[in-house]
Amino acid sequence: MSFPWAKHYEPKFAVTKWVDERLPLPRLVYNAVGAGYPVPRNLNYFWNFGVLAGAALAVQIVTGIVLAMHYAANGGVAFDSVEHIMRDVNGGWFLRYAHANGASMFFIVVYTHIFRGLYYGSYKAPREMVWLLGVVIFLLMMATAFMGYVLPWGQMSFWGAQVITGFFSAIPIVGDTIRVWLLGGYAPDDAALNRFFSLHYLLPFVIAGVIVLHICALHIPGSNNPTGVDVKGEQDTVPFHPYYTAKDGFGLGIFLVVFAVLIFFAPNYLGHPDNYIPANPLSTPAHIVPEWYFWPFYAILRAFTSDFILPAKLWGVLAMFGSIVLLFFLPWLDSSPVRSTNFRPVYRTFFWILVADVLVLGYCGGSPAEPLYVIISQVAAAYYFAHFLVILPIVSRMERPRPLPTSITEAVLAKHGGTSPTKTAVSGSVLAAE
């Protein structure tokens, strides 16, 4: 950490001292999430979502490992093994629903986390690496989630695998060879299922490793904050523990409440009924759709309906991957020296249009490919690419931002009405003032 006033680790117990002298893990924890990591004092609840994403990953790994003790990855028995978990394994229904809905929670949290980054300019210098690693994590998450959904071997599992691996055949010349190599066959079958199980078990640990790098990269400059103004001195920060451990604890409580409502009262709401039908390679479902967190990308894929030099299918695949790859370039597409959109009134309008646009794309992705939805997807996809590739570079160059506060502390005091003496503190009265 680069803040000179950061507290230093002082082992309080003989045991921690002994360990720390031989393996500096206690001090690593202290400096990363303990009292040794200074964090801006003005973070809002949107900063909770990073920790929540880590918690969601932990939930998925624990429930996943436990489910893997009962799951059988072979075409003839996979579906039945999942039902065995649901019916006969002690608490199996809870573990399965937790894992399935946990994936949705993971994506809800990560999407909020990403949009926080977009709004507050967290991807800008000097945090570009944090952002790049984050996009890598997102790609790994998508791969993991896709493979995980194939494992129950329901109709959507099979046909989703068929469609997604079909993308590769859009690549000219080598496309189909790659597809057959990926599947280990000509259609999703035992070979594909087994390798997806192996990789689905592996990738979350790769994600965990990249998350370590992601946090390391963040802790060099320290966290961003809602004003986007750098930390100037000790008065701008508070130690991570106990201030943000307490806030994250509360955030975790809300997360678990939402999670519990899904698991116990609406466990199949975010899923698709067709996945409760065993996979049948000879019968296509009426509407093949992926899980809701892929819907915006699915809409972009299906928006390209006419050939234009390249076949439409290839355009769709390129655009779908391109919509994520362009995120890698974001720190260089946005040249505004101001981080936080709070101070960028022109860009702010476009930001909210982007949010609406992504929601519209999501809705279209989950709908049948009827002409109305296709037309809306085409307009919405056009805006998505225009936003990042055309609008953002121009607006960031030309707009006149609002004046920034000189420091975080100044912004905080301005919010609380300047130099009024402290309301000694019953928490309620502090709340009331806000």
> Using CB under 8 A, which of 185, 249, 281, 345 touches other proteins?
249
> Using CB under 8 A, which of 8, 13, 87, 432 touches other proteins?
87
58 vs 55: CA distance, rounded Å: 5
Tell the smallest beta-carbon distance from residue 233 to other proteins (Å). Answer: 5
Tell whether residue 422 is a contact of other proteins (CB under 8 A): yes
What residues between 321 and 360 interact with other proteins by CB under 8 A?
322, 326, 329, 332-333, 335, 337-339, 343
Q: Is 39 helix (H, G, I), strand (E, B) or coil?
A: strand
> Using CB under 8 A, which of 28, 84, 171, 189 touches other proteins?
84
Catalytic annotation present for 429 = no
What residues between 118 and 157 interact with other proteins by CB under 8 A?
124-126
340 vs 123: CA distance, rounded Å: 11
- Token representation of residue 220: 């060099």
C-alpha dihedral over 288, 294, 300, 305, to 10 degrees?
-10
Residue 172 or residue 253: which is nearer to other proteins going by CB? 253
Closest CA to 391 of 352, 359, 430, 338: 352
Tell the smallest beta-carbon distance from residue 365 to other proteins (Å). Answer: 15
> Using CB under 8 A, which of 186, 253, 398, 432 touches other proteins?
253
Catalytic annotation present for 7 = no
Closest CA to 204 of 150, 255, 152, 147: 147
242 vs 353: CA distance, rounded Å: 37
Region binding other proteins by CB under 8 A among candidate stretches 136-144, 200-208, 258-266, 345-353: 258-266
Tell the smallest beta-carbon distance from residue 67 to other proteins (Å). Answer: 9
Tell whether residue 94 is a contact of other proteins (CB under 8 A): yes
The gap from C-alpha 424 to its chain's centroid, in whole angstroms, comes to 40
Q: Is 404 helix (H, G, I), strand (E, B) or coil?
A: coil
Tell whether residue 284 is a contact of other proteins (CB under 8 A): no
Tell whether residue 427 is a contact of other proteins (CB under 8 A): yes
Tell whether residue 117 is a contact of other proteins (CB under 8 A): no
Token pair 């590739």 is at which residue?
389
Closest CA to 275 of 360, 158, 125, 109: 158
Token pair 């690549």 is at which residue?
171
210 vs 88: CA distance, rounded Å: 37
Closest CA to 33 of 225, 233, 239: 239
What residues between 200 and 229 interact with other proteins by CB under 8 A?
228-229
Residue 190 or residue 410: which is nearer to other proteins going by CB? 410
Please identify which of the residues 81, 104, 157, 223 carries the catalytic annotation: 223
Residue 91: count other Cβ atoms within 10 Å of its Cβ: 10
Please identify which of the residues 81, 113, 122, 248 carries the catalytic annotation: 248
Segment holding 264, helix H or strand E: helix 240-265
> Using CB under 8 A, which of 25, 88, 281, 284 touches other proteins?
88
Tell whether residue 4 is a contact of other proteins (CB under 8 A): no
Residues binding other proteins: number (CB under 8 A): 119
Region binding other proteins by CB under 8 A among candidate stretches 94-102, 136-144, 173-181, 194-202: 94-102
Tell whether residue 1 is a contact of other proteins (CB under 8 A): no
Please identify which of the residues 219, 272, 334, 336 carries the catalytic annotation: 219
Please identify which of the residues 7, 241, 247, 313 carries the catalytic annotation: 247
CA atoms within 13 A on the CB side of 228: 23
Region binding other proteins by CB under 8 A among candidate stretches 23-31, 131-139, 359-367, 409-417: 409-417
Residue 2 or residue 177: which is nearer to other proteins going by CB? 2
Tell whether residue 95 is a contact of other proteins (CB under 8 A): yes
Cα Rg for the chain, rounded, in angstroms?
24
What residues between 38 and 57 interact with other proteins by CB under 8 A?
41-43
- Token representation of residue 125: 């210098």
- Token representation of residue 17: 């001292």
How far the first Cα of the chain sits from its last, in Å, is: 32
Catalytic annotation present for 124 = no
Region binding other proteins by CB under 8 A among candidate stretches 50-58, 189-197, 256-264, 348-356: 256-264
24 vs 20: CA distance, rounded Å: 4
Binding mask 364-393 for other proteins (x = CB under 8 A): ------xxx-xx--xx-xx--xx-xxx--x
Q: What is the largest CA-CA distance in the chain?
A: 75
Quick check: 221 and 127 in contact, CB under 8 A? yes
Residue 139: count other Cβ atoms within 10 Å of its Cβ: 17
Catalytic annotation present for 274 = no
Tell whether residue 22 is a contact of other proteins (CB under 8 A): no
Catalytic annotation present for 247 = yes
Tell whether residue 313 is a contact of other proteins (CB under 8 A): no
**Residues known to be catalytic:** 219, 223, 247-248, 291
